[in-house]
Amino acid sequence: MKIEEVKSTVKTQRISSHSHVKGLGLNENGIAIPIAAGLVGQESAREAAGIVVDMIKSKKMAGRAILMAGPPGTGKTAIALAIAQDLGNKVPFCPMVGSEVYSSEIKKTEVLMENFRRAIGLRIKETKEVYEGEVTELTPVETENPMGGYGKTVSHVIIGLKTAKGSKQLKLDPSVHESLQKEKVEVGDVIYIEANSGAVKRQGRSDTFASEFDLEAEEYVPLPKGDVHKKKEVIQDVTLHDLDVANARPQGGQDILSMMGQLMKSKKTEITDKLRKEINKIVNKYIDQGIAELVPGVLFIDEVHMLDIETFTYLHRALESAIAPIVIFATNRGRCTIRGTEDIISPHGIPLDLLDRLLIIRTTPYNRTNMENILKLRAQTEGLSLDPEALQQLADVGSKTTLRYAVQLLTPSALTAKVNGRSTITKDDVKEVSELFLDAKSSAKILTEQKDKFMK
Ligand SMILES: Nc1ncnc2c1ncn2[C@@H]1O[C@H](COP(=O)(O)OP(=O)(O)O)[C@@H](O)[C@H]1O
Ligand SMILES: [Mg+2]
């Protein structure tokens, strides 16, 4: 099985305004430490989130859903991202915003299903026949191009591998040469080569070279024990969406072994429901055989009130299927009309039957001290220096508007300070930018006052 070749399709998102958040900051008893891991205050929401993390880790949460509800700027997104950090990178976490489902090219439910499957992991354990060791020699052997011309081609590769127990010299196919280049293997690296597929995996630099001066961060690994040629347990984490993508193309074989290997061969076709069903079937077979294990991850849907009744219905049904992730919703809406309906008003704009399934975590507005601490943290992460008065001024702004707005004023204030030839932000800089820009509330106020001057 060439499962190494299934590419990961993890979504990367710009979450720069939350880059100071490193985790939930709980102690070993699950109690929130007032300021820790980049989070400040909001203790009960963080503790509740901690319980969710524990339940996810012990696999008691699949198919359930959580709603983070609270006013804007109270840390809903920040806490959801902290959950992701605490879960670690072995548990898939797929963030999306409700409005992502509205695309002119892809069906709403299709977007939702894709993200659903990005949030479900599969850990595959296999015993493989491999050659493993520290590379002692790496020589591509070239010959004249048999097709004529001036070029030379690699006819085979000679590679020497060393372990604590012995060493071996292998003569390998040119295709392995390409994988060696792709993994950027050099003499002194610890690698393994799969005997059947020829796939190469670089594990790191041998720790005998640990003192070597290196600009890039390197991972040093010990010299492997045992023989060069051996059986090794290989673990690979993929998501169901990775498998969908890898298989969404015309192919011959129906079993996943050959399917997974058919990457990048011909042009892509669409991921259909039929294909997904097929993949589920095979995945289930592997689970039954104990080769693979399901790792339900988290699908995080921010601004969930943006979903409409159709997507809610679809989501509700999907949550009930056998293979489902944990879904975390977030919203800052109170009672509002459910999108896509004429007049169904519901708490948070979520249909009542779905709401009924949810565990709700509340976030509450910050007090002034917490706000100051968060602003301080943000300034630190952005590498800005604030004088104490400026911090007070920002906290003032924050308590009148929202925390998010105050956080956003940091960068323009820093620019103003720079224009005035200072590296520290002062009270006046903050004042100046808050006079230049409007927050949402003041803007709304002006709109009502001067209604007749604006176009409808
Ligand atoms: N408890 C907290 N600790 C540290 N930073 C926070 C906290 N709550 C919010 N923030 C930061 O404040 C800003 C606004 O919070 P955010 O999570 O976007 O609010 P919401 O999603 O509830 O509208 C973000 O930059 C966020 O990282
Ligand atoms: Mg948010």
Residue 243: the pLDDT is 86
Task: Check whether 62 has a pLDDT greater than 90.
Answer: no
Across the range 365-393, mean pLDDT stands at 90
Give the pLDDT of residue 253. 46
Averaged pLDDT, 133-139? 92
Residue 223 has pLDDT above 80, yes or no: yes
Calculate how far, in angstroms, residue 377's C-alpha sits from the geometric centre of ligand 2: 18
For ligand 1, the distance from its centroid to the CA atom of residue 275, given in whole angstroms, is 40
pLDDT by residue (tens digit) across 90-110? Answer: 888 899 999 988 887 888 888
Site to substitute for ligand 1 among 13, 74, 373, 384, most atoms within 8 A of C-beta? 74
Lowest mean pLDDT among 5-14, 60-69, 229-238, 279-288: 5-14
Report the nearest-CA residue for atom 13 of ligand 1. 404
165 pLDDT above the threshold of 80: yes
Poorest-pLDDT segment among 50-54, 248-252, 365-369, 444-448: 248-252
CA of 47 to the centre of ligand 2 (A): 19
**The token pair that represents 379 in the structure block:** 């300034």
The band of 369, judged by pLDDT with boundaries at 50, 70 and 90, is very high
Mean pLDDT of the chain: 84
Q: What is the C-alpha separation between 117 and 214, in angstroms, rounded? A: 39
* Confidence at residue 213, expressed as pLDDT on a 0 to 100 scale: 61
The answer to whether residue 449 scores a pLDDT higher than 90 is no
Instruction: Name the closest-CA residue to atom 9, ligand 1.
Output: 75
Please say if the pLDDT value at position 4 is more than 60. Answer: no
User: What is the per-residue pLDDT for 1?
Assistant: 34
Average pLDDT over residues 394-413: 89
> Taking residues 107-136, what's their average pLDDT?
89
Sign of dihedral through CA atoms 391, 396, 397, 403? positive
- pTM listed for this prediction: 0.75
Give CA–CA dist 363/402, Å, rounded.
13
Asked whether the predicted pLDDT for residue 214 surpasses 90, the reply is no
Q: How confident is the model at residue 254 (pLDDT cuts 50, 70, 90)?
A: very low
What is the Å distance from ligand 2's center to 440 Cα? 16
Give distance in angstroms: CA of 77 to centre of ligand 2. Answer: 4
| Confidence at residue 252, expressed as pLDDT on a 0 to 100 scale | 47
Placement of tokens 């169901």 in the chain: 240
Rg (C-alpha) for the chain, rounded Å, is 27
pLDDT at 48: 95
Which atom of ligand 1 lies at the shortest distance from residue 18's CA? 27
Residues 6+ apart with CB under 8 A from 77: 15, 18, 302, 330
**CA torsion through residues 414, 420, 423, 426, sign:** negative
Mean local confidence (pLDDT), 129-150 = 82
Q: What is the maximum span of the chain, computed from C-alpha positions, in angstroms?
A: 86
- Ligand 1 nearest atom to the CA of residue 81, by list position: 17
Per-residue model confidence (pLDDT) at position 32:
92
Asked whether the predicted pLDDT for residue 127 surpasses 90, the reply is: no
- Section 66-80 average pLDDT: 92
The pLDDT of residue 375: 92
Test site for ligand 1: of 47, 378, 381, 405, most ligand atoms within 8 A of the Cβ? 378
Q: How far apart are the C-alpha atoms of 172 and 135, rounded to whole Å?
A: 14
Check pLDDT > 50 for residue 201: yes
Please say if the pLDDT value at position 259 is more than 70: no
- Ligand 1 neighbours, Cβ below 6 Å, are 17-18, 21, 38-42, 70, 72-78, 332, 363, 374, 377, 403-404, 407
Q: How far apart (Å, rounded) are the C-alpha atoms in residues 129 and 66? A: 43
Residue whose CA lies nearest to ligand 1 atom number 11: 75
Distance 333 CA to ligand 2 centre (A): 11
**Any idea which ligand is nearest the CA of 69?**
1
Residue 373 pLDDT exceeds 80: yes
Which residue puts its alpha carbon closest to atom 10 of ligand 1? 75
Ligand 1 centroid from CA 404, angstroms: 7
**What tens digit of pLDDT does each residue of 301-358 get?**
999 999 999 999 999 988 888 788 889 999 999 899 999 988 899 999 999 999 988 9
Report the DSSP pairing between strands 200-206 and 220-221: parallel
Cα of 328 vs centre of ligand 2, distance in Å, is 12
Query: Are 206 and 191 spatial neighbours (Cβ–Cβ below 8 Å)?
Result: no
- Kindly tell me if the per-residue pLDDT of 410 is higher than 70: yes
Relative to the alpha carbon of 95, which ligand is closest? 2
| pLDDT for 255 | 47
pLDDT at 258 over 80: no
Question: Can you say whether residue 151 is alpha, beta or left, with left for phi > 0 and alpha for psi between -120 and 50 degrees?
Answer: beta
pLDDT score of 5: 46
Distance of alpha carbon 304 from its chain centroid, rounded? 19
18, 26, 439, best to mutate for ligand 1 pocket (most atoms within 8 Å of CB): 18
| For the CA of 41, the nearest atom of ligand 1 | 1
**In the numeric block, which tokens belong to residue 317?**
């049904």
Q: Closest ligand to 68 CA?
A: 1
Using the predicted structure, report yes or no on whether residue 264 has a pLDDT greater than 60: no
Residue type, 187: V
pLDDT higher than 70, residue 9: no
| Percentage above 70 pLDDT, the chain | 89
